């Protein structure tokens, strides 16, 4: 199994969720996060004083999937979250050793 983690622009979140559901992803964990990459932050001006706002709001999606689905899920996120402009975000895949469904105790593939 793999953990796919995606950090995307907030306004792309609905598109990504729809595409993932259509693909058959059964669940995900989503959080509103702040951070920055090459995009850096932005500048705000209050009564002529410039403020550098370092952190940019993003959506982080975490999905545990079968090994076989990982590349497809990454592909879907990249395709739907892409605007082509700086700040589109990142997707990464990491190995997962074990998954347990809390309600039943089922493990791994049957727990997804």
Binding site for other proteins (CB under 8 A): 30-34, 44-52, 54-55, 57
Q: How far is the CB of 46 from other proteins (least distance, A)?
A: 5
Q: CB of residue 72 vs other proteins: minimum separation in angstroms?
A: 27
**Nearer Cβ to other proteins, position 31 or 82?**
31
CA distance 98 to 2: 10
Q: How far is CA 99 from the centre of its chain?
A: 19
Q: Which is nearer to other proteins, 32 or 66 (CB)?
A: 32
Report, in Å, the least distance between residue 98 CB and other proteins. 26
In which order are the strands placed within the sheet that holds 56-65?
29-35, 56-65, 2-8, 89-95
Question: 42 or 79, CB closer to other proteins?
Answer: 42
For residues 108 and 38, what is the distance between their CA atoms, to the nearest angstrom? 36
């Amino acid at each position: 199994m793999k953990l796919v983690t995606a950090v995307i622009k907030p306004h792309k979140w609905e598109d990504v969720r729809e595409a993932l559901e259509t693909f058959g992803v059964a669940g995900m964990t989503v959080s509103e996060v702040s951070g920055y990459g090459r995009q850096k932050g932005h500048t705000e001006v209050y009564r002529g004083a410039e403020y550098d706002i370092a952190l940019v709001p993003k959506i982080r999606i975490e999905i545990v999937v079968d090994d076989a689905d990982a590349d497809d899920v990454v592909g879907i996120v990249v395709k739907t979250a892409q605007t082509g402009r700086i700040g589109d975000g990142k997707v990464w895949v990491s190995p997962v050793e074990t998954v347990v469904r809390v309600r039943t105790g089922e493990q791994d593939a049957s727990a997804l």
